[in-house]
Structure 1
Amino acid sequence: MDETQDRVAHRLRELEIKASYTEDLLDQLNLLVYQQQQQIDSLLRQIRQLREQSPDAGAGTPRNLRDELPPHY
C-alpha cells in the first residue's frame, strides 16, 4: 500500500509541475498578445494619420500609379 501512495504522490507532483509550467506559459502568451495588440493599435493610428496627411485624403478616389511614375519614363 505504501508503494501505491508513493506512486500517487509522485504523479501528483508531476501534474503540479506541469500545471505550473502551463500557467507560466499562458501568462507569457497573454503578455505577448497584449503587446501585439498595442503595436497593431499604434500602426492603425499611424496609418490614419498618413491618410489624413495625403493630398487626396478626402477625395476617396483610388490613386493612379501612372501619375506617380518618374519623369524619365
Structure 2
Amino acid sequence: MNPSQDPHSTDSRLTKLEIQASFTEDLLDKLDQIITRQQDQIDRLTREVHFLRRQTPDEGSQPQRNLRDELPPHY
C-alpha cells in the first residue's frame, strides 16, 4: 500500500490540521480582542487631545509675552 494512501497517515494529518486550525482560530480571537482594546484606547486618547486643545488658548489670540515683564518684583 502506498504511504500517502494509508488511512492512519491521513487521519493523523487531518488531526494535526484540525489542531492547527483550532490554535489559529484562538489566536485570531485574541488578536481581535487586542485590536478592539487598542482602538478603544486610541478613540479615548483622541477625545482627550481634542478636549485639551479646546482648553488651551490659541497662540494667535494671545499677545507675545516677554519674559522680562514677568520678572519678580525684587529684580
Q: TM-score, normalised by structure 1?
A: 0.74
Matches within 5 A, 1:9-48: 9-48=11-50
* Structure 2 Cα separation of the partners of residues 18 and 67 of structure 1: 67
Query: Which residue of the partner structure matches residue 55 of structure 1?
Result: 57
Query: Which residue of the partner structure matches residue 5 of structure 1?
Result: 7
Query: Structure 2: where are the runs of 5+ without partners?
Result: none
Tell me the C-alpha RMSD between the 2 structures. 3.0
* Structure 2 Cα separation of the partners of residues 56 and 46 of structure 1: 17
Runs of 4+ deviating beyond 3 Å: none
- What percentage of residue pairs aligned between the two structures are identical? 44
* Structure 2 Cα separation of the partners of residues 12 and 34 of structure 1: 33
Choose 1 or 2 for highest CA Rg: 2
CA-CA distance at 1:67 after TM superposition: 6.7
CA offsets 1:29-52 (integer angstroms, 9 cap, x no match): 000000000000000000000000
CA-CA distance at 1:56 after TM superposition: 1.8
* Structure 2 Cα separation of the partners of residues 47 and 67 of structure 1: 28
* Structure 2 Cα separation of the partners of residues 67 and 21 of structure 1: 64
Query: Structure 1: where are the runs of 5+ without partners?
Result: none
* Structure 2 Cα separation of the partners of residues 47 and 29 of structure 1: 27
